Amino acid sequence: MCISKRFYISAMTIVLVVVFMFSSAFVVYAADEESLEIASPAAILMDSQTGKILYEKNSHEVRSCASITKVMTMILVMEALDSGKIKLTDTVSASEHAASMGGSDIWLKAGETMTVDEMIKAVVVASANDAAVALAEYISGSEDLFVSQMNEKAQGLFMGDTVFKNCNGLDEDGHVTSANDVAIMSRELIKHPKIFEYTSIWMDYLRDGKTQLVNTNKLLKSYNGITGLKTGTTDAAGCCISATAKRGNLSLIAVVLGGKTGKERFKDASTLLDFGFANYNMMEPTVSEDIFEPIKVLNGMKQYVNIKAEVDGNILIKKGKEHSVEHMIELVSQITAPVHVGQIVGHLIYKINDETVAEYDVIATEDVGEINFLSSLKELFRNIFCV
Residues noted as catalytic: 67, 70, 127
In this structure, which amino acid lies at residue 105? D
- Among residues 281, 237, 279, the alpha carbon closest in space to that of 262 is found at 237
> What is the distance between the alpha carbons of residues 232 and 186, in angstroms, rounded to a whole number?
14
Please give the Cα distance from 295 to 247 (Å, whole number). Answer: 41
Q: CA–CA distance from 195 to each of 186, 216, 241 (Å)?
A: 11, 16, 16
Cα-based distances in Å from 30 to 24, 219, 252: 10, 21, 19
Q: 143-156 vs 129-140: helix axis angle to the nearest 10? A: 90
- Peptide bond before 193: cis, by omega within 30 degrees of 0? no
How far apart (Å, rounded) are the C-alpha atoms in residues 123 and 67? 9
Least Cα distance to 245 among 184, 308, 186, 192 occurs for 186
Based on DSSP, count helices (H) and strands (E) in the chain, helices before strands. Answer: 10, 18
Backbone angles phi, psi at 111, to 5 degrees: 90, -10
How many Cβ atoms are within 10 Å of 260's Cβ, its own excluded?
Answer: 12
d(CA 104, CA 92): 19
